[in-house]
Structure 1
Amino acid sequence: MKYTTTDELEHFSFTEAYIADVQVTGGFFHMTLSNVTILPENSCNRDIREMRANDLVLKIEEPVIRSLVREGYKVYDANGILMRTCEDEMVNEAAWNETIRSFADGTLYALKRDGENYIFEIDAPDEEEYVLAVSGTHNTASWDRFLNK
């Protein structure tokens, strides 16, 4: 990869980024994303405007999955009357790896850092929405080239 940043998540916008691949194993968390916006403040961005990157590899060092929640929803009829409610559901720890790998071909709507936790808001291909919390010591983002936005 030609460009690499460390601990600069605030200099990217991951809104509506395409999740091409997710790799999760012991001590290893990599997510390959496309349609990531690189903000002008990014240390690798020499332009004074927003740029874009595809095939950006985001790595979290010393990752520990803290939680995985399938978000709840409400179903209304055509008249706006509530038909049913589905509450948030904690995904069983035994299913974490399989569920996280299923995020490939999904959309990342937000990535925030809260202390040592990385909070991923994901719209999975199965039309379910998830919130994944992963703690880690550092993050690196690597990509090959800048694209016009």
Structure 2
Amino acid sequence: MSYCSVDEIEQFSFEDCRILKMQQTAEGFQFQVEALIVRPQNSQNTQFTESYADIATLKVLGVEEVSAVKEGYRYYDADDRLIEEVPDTLLTSEQMGQMLKESAGAYLFEVRKDSQGLHMRIEFSDSSDQDPLASTTYEIVMKQKEVVVTWGKYLNRVQR
């Protein structure tokens, strides 16, 4: 890979990002993603503009602790009356492992770092004929040592 960014997760935008492949390694977690946007402030951005990276590898290394939550929701009718409420659900390690195994094709729409660790939000499309916008979202929180993102080349600039 030609470009390598270490602990600059805030210098990427994940708004269009899809997971192609995920695997758990002895070092942590590795995600292969497409449509990752490299921001102008990234130390590896030679374009100095928002640009898409080619297929990128996001490695979360030195993972000490992991938790995952299936995000709940509230469903309202057209008159703004609450019809159904589903609370957030903490996943077991087995459920989290299964969710990550099935993550190919899901959207990795947010990755951010704070004092609790690295937060990754993943959306799975549950669309059907009745509800083409239905989806299930998860938030994974990892305490990690570093995050390394590598990619081979830049693609087009982001058009906004």
1:144 to 128, 134, 152: 152
Q: Which runs of 4+ in 1 moved over 6 A?
A: none
Q: CA deviation at 1:70?
A: 0.3
1:119 is matched with 119
Q: CA deviation at 1:14?
A: 1.2
Equivalent residues in 2 for 1:41-56 (5 A)? 41-56=41-56
Q: Distance in 2 between matches of 1:92 and 1:130?
A: 13
> Cα deviation per residue 1:108-136 (whole Å; 9 max; x = unaligned)?
12100113611001112442100001121
Q: What 5-or-longer segments of structure 2 have no aligned partner?
A: 127-134
The total of aligned residue pairs comes to 149
Q: CA deviation at 1:25?
A: 4.1
8 Å CA contact 1:2–1:145 kept in 2: the answer is: yes
Q: CA deviation at 1:65?
A: 4.2
Q: What 5-or-longer segments of structure 1 have no aligned partner?
A: none
1:133 is matched with 141
Q: CA deviation at 1:79?
A: 2.8
Equivalent residues in 2 for 1:1-149 (5 A)? 1-115=1-115, 117-126=117-126, 127-148=135-156, 149=158
8 Å CA contact 1:102–1:125 kept in 2: the answer is: no
Q: Distance in 2 between matches of 1:65 and 1:23?
A: 16
Tell me the secondary structure at the aligned position of residue 128 of structure 1. strand
Q: TM-score, normalised by structure 1?
A: 0.91
Q: TM-score, normalised by structure 2?
A: 0.86
| Identical residues among aligned pairs (%) | 26
Q: Distance in 2 between matches of 1:25 and 1:96?
A: 15
8 Å CA contact 1:24–1:101 kept in 2: the answer is: no
8 Å CA contact 1:19–1:33 kept in 2: the answer is: yes
Tell me the secondary structure at the aligned position of residue 155 of structure 2. coil
Q: CA deviation at 1:99?
A: 1.3
Please say which of residues 29-38 and 71-80 is displaced more in the overlay.
71-80
Which amino acid in 1 is paired with 2:37? T
Over the aligned positions, Cα root-mean-square deviation in angstroms equals 1.6
